[in-house]
């Protein structure tokens, strides 16, 4: 079974996901998986645009075209299972990939949703980009107030720019007295933050989903 993975947003999160997927697949089948990767071309300014939900029509068109190129390459190479290691672009990817009639289209959003249902977790706190929050990519979650969302966006932007952030994520989480929090951004997951409550890791959920849909 071959799987097509879209990376590039961010490449660090993708690299971490790729290594974990290879390791877990090897543990299960005693060999490494066949993976076809496509890294989308995204400028620094475009990346900031979709983090902060300030997307220009030009950037949206560019992202659509990049995802479409990736899906076309996957289809030409007989890939049946495709995924993207990015929460923020999940719905756009789902829309583009649906045109190509892949057997499975896996996203962090859908993987987390399945995890929440299986574990009967209701209305968890959501940590994600403003784009993900304001466009309701995650359903049935508890959102941060506006001031705290600005801080989370700052934390994510700092991470992308390799700046040590002064934003204390766990202090934000503690304010809401919610026993569960969704880490709905791969760059937040990559930061290895310390959570005082049960955290639902979107990357781990996607990893499980991919492994469950990959056959030897």
Note the pLDDT tens digit of each residue in 101-156. Answer: 999 999 999 999 999 999 999 999 999 999 999 999 999 999 999 999 999 999 99
Cβ atoms of residues 63 and 89 within 8 Å: yes
pLDDT of residue 187: 87
pLDDT of residue 214: 87
Structure token pair of residue 148: 């705290």
Angle between helices 108-118 and 202-212 (to 10 degrees): 90
Q: What percentage of the chain exceeds 70 in pLDDT?
A: 99
In degrees to the nearest 10, what's the CA dihedral of 32, 38, 43, 45? -80
Q: pLDDT tens digits for 155-200?
A: 998 888 888 899 999 999 999 999 999 999 998 988 878 888 999 9
Q: Structure pTM?
A: 0.92
* Domains along the sequence of the chain with CATH: 2-108+204-212 (3.40.50.1860), 111-201 (3.40.50.1860)
pLDDT of residue 216: 55
Residue 51 confidence (pLDDT) above 80: no
């Amino acid at each position: 079974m071959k799987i097509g993975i879209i990376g590039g947003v961010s490449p660090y999160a993708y690299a971490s996901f790729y290594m974990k997927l290879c390791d877990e697949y090897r543990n299960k089948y005693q060999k490494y998986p066949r993976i076809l990767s496509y890294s989308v071309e995204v400028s620094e300014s475009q990346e900031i645009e979709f983090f902060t939900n300030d997307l220009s029509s030009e950037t949206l068109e560019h992202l659509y075209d990049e995802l479409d190129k990736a899906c076309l390459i996957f289809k030409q190479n007989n890939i049946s299972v495709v995924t993207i290691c990015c929460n923020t672009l999940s719905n756009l990817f789902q829309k583009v990939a649906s045109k190509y009639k892949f057997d499975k289209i896996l996203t962090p959003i859908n993987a987390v949703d399945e995890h929440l249902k299986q574990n009967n977790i209701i209305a968890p706190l959501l940590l994600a980009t403003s784009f993900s929050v304001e466009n309701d990519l995650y359903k049935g979650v508890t959102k941060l107030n506006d001031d705290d969302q600005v801080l989370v966006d700052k934390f994510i932007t700092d991470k992308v720019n390799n700046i040590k952030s002064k934003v204390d994520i766990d202090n934000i989480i503690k304010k809401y007295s919610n026993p569960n929090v969704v880490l709905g951004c791969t760059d937040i997951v990559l930061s290895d933050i310390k959570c005082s409550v049960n955290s639902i890791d979107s990357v781990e959920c996607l990893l499980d989903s991919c492994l469950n849909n990959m056959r030897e």
